[in-house]
Structure 1
Amino acid sequence: MDFLQQIEQWAVKQPNQAAFSWRGEQVTFRQLKEQSDALAAWIASSYEHDTTPIMVYGHMQPHMVVSFLACVKAGHAYIPVDASIPADRVVRIAESSGAKLMLSPSAIPFPELNLQQVAGEELHNIIDSHLGQAPAAELAVKDEENFYIIYTSGSTGNPKGVQITFNCLQSFVDWMLGDFGLQTGQVFLNQAPFSFDLSVMDLYPSLVSGGTLWAIDKDMIAKPKDLFASLAESGIEVWTSTPSFAEMCLMEPRFSEEMLPSLRTFLFCGEVLSNDAARHLLERFPKAAIFNTYGPTEATVAITSIQVDHEVLAQYPSLPVGYSKADGQVLIVKEDGTPAADGEKGEIVIVGPSVSKGYLGSPELTEKAFLTIDGQRAYKTGDAGYLQNGLLFYNGRLDFQIKLHGYRMELEEIEHHLRACTYVQSAVVLPIKKGEKYDYLLAVIVPTEHSFEKEFHLTSAIRKEISSMLPSYMLPRKFMYQSSIPMTPNGKADRKKLLSEVTA
């Protein structure tokens, strides 16, 4: 039984179980099946003999998930487009993908788009008028057909459409349900917007295992009082987020086992999980297992994992990102294209069935990043790392390397050492340019509680501590202190916003 069939079975086994919950709105497994079948029947009849991808626009509304399943049941990949994405980027995604239809649970503010738009009341009317209907089962996306397409930032400034097939997602879901101790009927946190592939880590494991997704939207995150009220009500058992989001929650003293007594699993991806953040989480949630994972969108969310316990924290000041899942392989390749020795740094290359087919409509970009190794698809990540006895260590983006006063350095390495400091809760390092060259490094710090009266005393203490770990040329020249690090809608540190603020 494939994962789509497994989702369908819950409409019979537990029809009244909530599949998705957001701000008091719920969709049960029966409603999820009936409504996605109805919408899929309309799509199949309206777009007969057409398999172009369909854009689905919105935020955390339950009918986003209904629309996703409707698209794939009718034989179309879906493109999730979050409401936070700027209009210009939405237009470029529409043009790049060749989409002819956009669905949305609410209004679509893009009259300039040259495609059919079905939104709000019209979408609900279509579903209601087609209840009881379903497309032919053989129409559904399968095998090497695209299941979803997520657009990521491209170095050219144009978004790149990463094609994830049915088989890619099946490989990922099988791994998630097999290796992380997940149980039937659990409540999963849904924090990441659907246009960020971290959301796939909770969406499909939850649906396939008959669980309930508890959605946290961007307005809640902006209002901590609302956020923690929702978390306290949720009964969450499986937490999926970026490390940055968890670090923000840790700033609230009530964020603990007392608030979330059922929480048993933390799943982290998308950023570096610091030793300090993991340690605090273990202190606050002693009954929970913490998993650090790694993977780019192009390899279907994540492909390595390790459980971070007290032994791992004691052994590794900089946490590893884990061992490869069984059906995949991680290689480290040196600049000259030869394999790196054990413990030797190079580019991380991922091989296996969860690797994407490439970028939609971009053969040149696909050829540059994807290849075939031993008959399997492989992806050159652009990430630096090394393997030690099969355990992967991530060393930042190769394109996060900069040259400052003749020295080549990795900004994420400096950030790692800053986060390990006694007086630092969170840190981002920004390279500041003068003309065309980098002139100095600025450290943006969220400090821990301290007794220093003046900022320069705090700076002096941090400098002293990191100078024992970093050469002098890697020490930030300037330090700036803030109560929090701004985050992107995806829950990552917003480096662009910080840079624009400090250089304005």
Structure 2
Amino acid sequence: MSRAEPPRRPDHLAAYLEASAARVPDRVAVVDVDGAPLTFAALDDRAERVAAFLRSRGVGPGDRVGFILSKGAAALAVLFGALKAGAAYVPIDAGAPAERDRAILAGCGVRALFALPRNLEALVAIAPSALPETVVVVPPPGGGAADDGGAPGALAGLAVPFRDALAHARAPLEGRARRASDLACILYTSGSTGVPKGVMITHENAVSFVEWCSEVFALTPDDRFSSHAPLHFDLSVFDIHVSLKHGAQVHLIPEDVGQDPRALARFIADRRLTVWYSAPSVLALMAQLGGLERVDASALRLVLFAGEVFPVRHLRRLVERWPGPDYYNLYGPTETNVCTFARVPTPVPQDRIEPYPIGEPCSHCAALVLDQEGRPVEAGGCGLLYISGPSVFAGYWGAPDETAARFIERDGRRWFNTGDVVRVEPGAGYVYVGRVDRMVKRRGHRIELGEVESGLYRHEQTREAAVVAVNEPEGVRIVAFLVSRTGARPTLIELKRHCAAVLPSTMSPDAFLFLDALPRTSTGKVDYQALARLVPAGAGEPNPRSR
């Protein structure tokens, strides 16, 4: 096993790539979506050329560089090129509506934009004025780095082919030194309202997380990381920057493979991946539909999950199929990245029905749990979780009032209100109870919708479950959406009896609607806003129509 020492803590994310390119230039850094390998030296060279191009266009420290790209080596070259130019990168979901893209571009004032032809066409059609002066058209993965992919007609002669950007000669960066407080990226998250919010991540924020990962997970140059998360999702900070720090490989997972449980399981086996990180829903689908018993995933040594609650029944099944790795439950909103963690004891007992705790604060974070009056919560009590430390974001782009509303000052420290309710449990750290914005009051009782979902998952026919609340003049209605494990669906009476056995009467859903699959966001989480739009009028009537 290779024992090359990774670099000491830098002040800048690009330093991880640069140090590995200097230390192990010929090692494979990235395996692209088409299986093509790219060495550290080659990735660093492409990033330097993108940086030189950006500087020739006047992009420098404090600027923002946006990209609307499929995951691939080209996107990584743009990401690191922006960082090397001193700018912050702004990754935008290539599958999102053009109107959302327009809002982000206008909101953060990008100086340069790298985008796929189809996305540029959509933007030109609705808002050509939203485009910055510098626009680069990038071919989709598989088109080849030398193929410009074709510029939309409205941008002919204005958009620069990506191959021309890569043709710029490398040039040393001159001027202001890098600072840990500089902005590294802006990650847009819709939160509960659907309005994009730009989470400003500094180099100090991201580096503190990368260093914590290195401290806890004993990563080596021989590791082979998965890259399932899209680049606009905060999980990608681990996939990309942690792997490059250690001179290890990161394998970019094609979008079609990432959405197919069986193909994904084969990918993990064929690539001999050692480190996996994703939302629990991805792992749950593989546990149920991936045919894990027929593939060899014995190289896996770490399985990390974050972003939502992992239903215990699916986690148990996954551990039964993959008994070898260490499992970690990582918790944290985009604004803090991972701030608490817990190693999951395996095997998962057959009689366990409650999700595992989110654990103790990471070494680079401090946590505080306060009740509604702002008093610290004692053992056994529930309250809002606040986080302080170097990983906590700088604020929301262009929204100082919203930023101020999410922070408090206490004991000389700045604390971020996560909006999550936790229970303080001695010996286990924190147990996630739910979101403040997913708590409703019905018949005088406070109800956490996640607890209703947990109860539904205990039904033997439940593959997936999600619950939404609908506010109406007569009160709050709770509507459950279910995906059955088989073609047979439980009857309304069976579901009511099940809920009566596992939930208080106040938590029992008013309606049960069946879907073939739950809608999900581009980051793999359940899309509750889409579900709310599916609730039909009269969904609380005794015999709701299944969909």
**1:455 counterpart SS class:** coil
Structure 2 Cα separation of the partners of residues 274 and 224 of structure 1: 17
Q: CA deviation at 1:309?
A: 1.6
1:136-215 alignment runs, 5 A limit: 136=174, 139=176, 141-153=178-190, 157-215=194-252
1:472-483 alignment runs, 5 A limit: 472-483=505-516
Report the counterpart of residue 469 of structure 1 in structure 2.
502
> How many residue pairs were aligned?
497
2:209–2:391: 8 Å Cα contact kept in structure 1?
A: yes
Match of 1:419 among 457, 471, 485: 457
Letter in 2 for 1:468: A
Structure 2 Cα separation of the partners of residues 294 and 257 of structure 1: 31
Match of 2:21 among 11, 31, 40: 11
Report the counterpart of residue 342 of structure 2 in structure 1.
306
Q: CA deviation at 1:256?
A: 4.5
Change beyond 3 A, Cα 1:146–1:123: farther
Report the counterpart of residue 119 of structure 1 in structure 2.
137
Question: What percent identity do the matched residue pairs reach?
Answer: 29
1:487–1:494: 8 Å Cα contact kept in structure 2?
A: yes
- Which stretch has the larger CA shift, 37-46 or 48-57? 48-57
Change beyond 3 A, Cα 1:79–1:260: same
Q: CA deviation at 1:483?
A: 4.2
Q: CA deviation at 1:436?
A: 4.7
Structure 2 Cα separation of the partners of residues 329 and 197 of structure 1: 20
- Which stretch has the larger CA shift, 87-96 or 310-319? 310-319
Q: CA deviation at 1:240?
A: 0.8
1:173–1:204: 8 Å Cα contact kept in structure 2?
A: yes
Match of 1:218 among 238, 255, 258: 255
Change beyond 3 A, Cα 1:247–1:454: closer
Letter in 2 for 1:118: V
| 2:351 equivalent to 1:351 | no
Structure 1 Cα separation of the partners of residues 41 and 497 of structure 2: 61
Report the counterpart of residue 401 of structure 1 in structure 2.
439
Structure 2 Cα separation of the partners of residues 193 and 466 of structure 1: 36
1:56-71 alignment runs, 5 A limit: 56-71=67-82
Q: Taking structure 1 as the reference length, what is the TM-score of the superposition?
A: 0.91
| 2:532 equivalent to 1:499 | yes
1:232–1:259: 8 Å Cα contact kept in structure 2?
A: yes
1:141–1:166: 8 Å Cα contact kept in structure 2?
A: no
Change beyond 3 A, Cα 1:60–1:139: farther
Change beyond 3 A, Cα 1:224–1:468: closer
Q: CA RMSD, aligned part only?
A: 2.5
**2:289 counterpart SS class:** coil
Structure 2 Cα separation of the partners of residues 154 and 320 of structure 1: 23
Report the counterpart of residue 380 of structure 1 in structure 2.
417
Change beyond 3 A, Cα 1:296–1:98: same
Structure 1 Cα separation of the partners of residues 101 and 37 of structure 2: 28
2:51–2:85: 8 Å Cα contact kept in structure 1?
A: yes
**1:32 counterpart SS class:** helix
Q: Taking structure 2 as the reference length, what is the TM-score of the superposition?
A: 0.84
1:353–1:376: 8 Å Cα contact kept in structure 2?
A: no
Structure 2 Cα separation of the partners of residues 48 and 98 of structure 1: 12
| 2:89 equivalent to 1:78 | yes
2:265–2:295: 8 Å Cα contact kept in structure 1?
A: no
Q: CA deviation at 1:224?
A: 5.0
Letter in 2 for 1:395: V
Report the counterpart of residue 323 of structure 1 in structure 2.
360
1:304–1:324: 8 Å Cα contact kept in structure 2?
A: yes
Report the counterpart of residue 263 of structure 1 in structure 2.
300
Q: CA deviation at 1:402?
A: 1.5
